[in-house]
Structure 1
Amino acid sequence: MTASAAPVLVIGAGVQGLTAGVVLAEAGQRVRIRTADRPQDTTSAVAGAMWGPAMLRPAERVLYWVTRSHAEFSALARDENSGVHLAAGRMAARFDLGDVVPPEAKLIPDLRPCTPEELPEGFVSGYYATVPLIDMPRYLDYLVARFQAAGGELQLSPVPSLADAVAESPTVVNCTGVGARELVGDPGVHPVRGQHVVVRNPGIDEYFVELSDSGEFAAYMPHGDRVVLGGVAVEHDWNMVPRREVSEGIRRRCAEVEPRLADAEVLADLVGLRPGREAVRVEVEEYEGGRIIHNYGHGGSGVALSWGCAFEAVDLVEGIA
């Protein structure tokens, strides 16, 4: 294909921006990513993270995004340098989940209900499944290297406004997460505060995720010599400072499920702001003579949707979608 005179400008270097940059660059486009934060300082770096069903809107498009992403992560799990690996584990609830599972759960070949013996005390329902787990610090480094190997340019340089963006390039991909609230002027975007505790791995190789509508739940995901413990989800909270009482609650809930975590050495307490929105936004906006492809509002499912959203965003850049 013929590259345009100006590179496509991607704003943001979290998982959405880097993945979109990779897909664009590998499709033969000239691409520049500009970011206010290094990839390792983004909310994406703080994520657990895992591929899993995403209960977001719009449902039909989310199903495509999460399905496409599952295929990519499953392939990446065969690359030991990617930071992605397949892990077995449990997704469980303190209420009856019933027999109906999300459509994308059918992508999991070994999905089955948990036996009563497999459920922790206080849990009444759950599923056992092997899914991709993503070690985000390693994975973000992998995406940066892959992006640059494809000829992409990464600049640590914030974009002040959309007008500045389209003045630099007629085609812009906006992957600013919660920053879209100010950059785009979208009041529907709000922070959903997450906090994680990273501990030295005491020998755990299976994940656990509590399915809950509560702002506090138990979750842990092993990544080699460390385990990421969660979790909390606090709407409209911009505070980026780790709270000791929140970390203590996370450790207590996780240790109730997996006692080996009770005395695990704490390596870090991390905070990230998930970009909450009523619906994920992947669409084109004509703006001052340029085209802006918005890709934000993924809530706590940014990693799980990243490849599907990136491929759709690139189709929009190239005028396919």
Structure 2
Amino acid sequence: MTASKAHIVVIGAGVVGLQTAVTFLEHGHAVTVIAKHVPGDKSSEYTSPWAGAQWRTHSTAKDFELQKWDIASYERWFQTVEQEKKEPGQPTKSGVAKFHNVMYWAEEDEELANGPENLWYAPHMRSFEVIPRSSLPKGAVAGVKYDSISIDTTVYLHHLVDRITELKGRIVKAELPTAGGIAGALAAATRLLPVYSINTPISAFVNSSGILAKDLVPDPAVHPIRGQTVLVRGVATQLRAIIRGKGVTYVIPRAASNSTILGGTKQVGDWNQNPDDTTTKWILESCRDVAPELLNEKGEFDVLSVNVGFRPGRTGGPRLEVEEIQTEAGKFVVCHEYGHAGAGYQLSFGSAEKTLGLLTEHFQRHATRAKL
């Protein structure tokens, strides 16, 4: 990397875009974030606030690079907990908290092909144990437990915004047009920034637009994975999950806000923004025996809200690649960074570092005026 300072414009303020902005700022570059939605917004197409947000890998045994990103976030979050000397269930200033995680599988699947003791992440987990078959609950074929991380999304996203502000980054809340594809959006961004007195030449763009990449790029491989969850009062004592093939029942405590997320659904291609009452009932019933400590004197959960969000799925997995795009305002370098599905939080550190590396390599290779 050269000593020159670049100006990076990040499109999107989900957890991936915000963490990418922080990473570039920490490496000495100027950053402007342009986003239709920012922390505090409640749109269903703005995925990050609605996420369950825990450390539970989505990477398969063959996803070697994504495994590295997973472990990078696991270690970073545990460092945060340990640096702030927090006990299990106590949140850090960023909304991260350590909890013990208990997972069961209701049926055999590919992940268990070599036995739960040989799960790819087993050697990396703190306090990892296989639950003996004699101790499994009725209906479970396997189980493991280990120390993990839960994230209060509202606190964490605002923490990232505060970090960007602290490092002199800028966030502009604005909607870029999609009718002209990514070229039209980039040209619009160049006209927009001077309105906010941001006149520094743009060195490169990072496209962290999440589910909006479907129309912005456009990328037909991007699709929604609808998630419906229920937020209830009280903090569960553990992270818990029961995996049923492609479905999962989960309990994710949020220590910073005295609440717990119950879930949930993974409905590929479903754009329905409205909560489904039947699904809500199913979630509450399926979690009743999983988190009994949260039931009130009537034997019911105190429901705070029912939430719907769209995970930014992408056929083929996350897209991270550099592209040069000709626009009416000139040619621009873009690093696409989207399609993280339901793993945005745990992949955010590794994804950001990869994006930094890709742009660094590109400019070093092409020796342009916008070197990083």
TM-score range, shorter chain: over 0.9
CA contact (8 A) 1:93 1:124 kept: yes
Which of 187, 195, 209 is residue 176 of structure 1 equivalent to?
209
1:168-317 correspondence to structure 2 within 5 Å: 168=190, 169-201=202-234, 204-215=236-247, 217-224=248-255, 225-262=258-295, 263-277=300-314, 278-288=316-326, 289-317=331-359
Q: Using a 3 Å threshold, how does the CA distance of structure 1 residues 211 and 272 change in structure 2: closer, same or farther?
A: same
Q: Which runs of 5+ in 2 are unaligned?
A: 85-91, 191-201, 365-372
Tell me, in whole angstroms, the C-alpha distance in 2 between the residues paired with 1:221 and 1:119: 21
User: RMSD of aligned C-alpha atoms?
Assistant: 2.0
- Residue 52 (structure 2) pairs with residue 68 (structure 1): no
Q: Partner amino acid for 1:74?
A: F
CA contact (8 A) 2:236 2:251 kept: no
Q: Which runs of 5+ in 1 are unaligned?
A: none
Partner of 2:50: 46
Q: Partner amino acid for 2:357?
A: D
Partner of 2:370: none
Q: Structure 2 length as normaliser, TM-score?
A: 0.80
Q: Which moved more, 1:103-112 or 1:129-138?
A: 103-112
Deviations 1:79-118 (A, max 9, x none): 4201111110211111243245442332102111124575
Deviations 1:195-241 (A, max 9, x none): 1100001x5220101223334x3101111210011110001011122
Q: Using a 3 Å threshold, how does the CA distance of structure 1 residues 141 and 234 change in structure 2: closer, same or farther?
A: same
Q: What is the Cα deviation at residue 36 of structure 1?
A: 0.6
Partner of 1:35: 35
- Residue 115 (structure 2) pairs with residue 95 (structure 1): no
Which of 118, 123, 131 is residue 140 of structure 2 equivalent to?
123
- Residue 161 (structure 2) pairs with residue 141 (structure 1): no
Tell me, in whole angstroms, the C-alpha distance in 1 between the residues paired with 2:165 and 2:294: 38
Q: Using a 3 Å threshold, how does the CA distance of structure 1 residues 85 and 34 change in structure 2: closer, same or farther?
A: same
Q: Partner amino acid for 1:172?
A: F
CA contact (8 A) 1:120 1:257 kept: no
Tell me, in whole angstroms, the C-alpha distance in 2 between the residues paired with 1:154 and 1:70: 27
Q: What is the Cα deviation at residue 275 of structure 1?
A: 1.1
Tell me, in whole angstroms, the C-alpha distance in 2 between the residues paired with 1:127 and 1:200: 27
Tell me, in whole angstroms, the C-alpha distance in 2 between the residues paired with 1:309 and 1:290: 21
Q: Using a 3 Å threshold, how does the CA distance of structure 1 residues 297 and 101 change in structure 2: closer, same or farther?
A: farther
Q: Partner amino acid for 1:305?
A: L
Q: Using a 3 Å threshold, how does the CA distance of structure 1 residues 137 and 119 change in structure 2: closer, same or farther?
A: farther
Q: Which has the larger radius of gyration?
A: 2
1:99-110 correspondence to structure 2 within 5 Å: 99=116, 101-110=118-127
Q: Partner amino acid for 1:279?
A: G
Q: What is the Cα deviation at residue 181 of structure 1?
A: 0.8
Tell me, in whole angstroms, the C-alpha distance in 1 between the residues paired with 2:281 and 2:267: 16
Q: What is the Cα deviation at residue 193 of structure 1?
A: 0.1
Q: Secondary structure at the match of 1:77?
A: helix
Partner of 2:197: none
Tell me, in whole angstroms, the C-alpha distance in 2 between the residues paired with 1:194 and 1:140: 19
Displacement over 4 Å in runs of 4+: none
Q: Partner amino acid for 1:86?
A: K
Q: Which moved more, 1:259-268 or 1:96-105?
A: 96-105
Q: Secondary structure at the match of 1:147?
A: helix
Q: What is the Cα deviation at residue 162 of structure 1?
A: 2.1
Q: Partner amino acid for 1:139?
A: Y
Q: Secondary structure at the match of 1:146?
A: helix
Q: Using a 3 Å threshold, how does the CA distance of structure 1 residues 188 and 210 change in structure 2: closer, same or farther?
A: same
Q: Structure 1 length as normaliser, TM-score?
A: 0.92
Q: Partner amino acid for 1:266?
A: V
Paired residue total: 317
- Percent identity between matched residues is 32
Q: Secondary structure at the match of 1:163?
A: helix
Q: Using a 3 Å threshold, how does the CA distance of structure 1 residues 124 and 70 change in structure 2: closer, same or farther?
A: same
Q: What is the Cα deviation at residue 164 of structure 1?
A: 4.2
Partner of 2:171: 154
CA contact (8 A) 1:165 1:172 kept: no
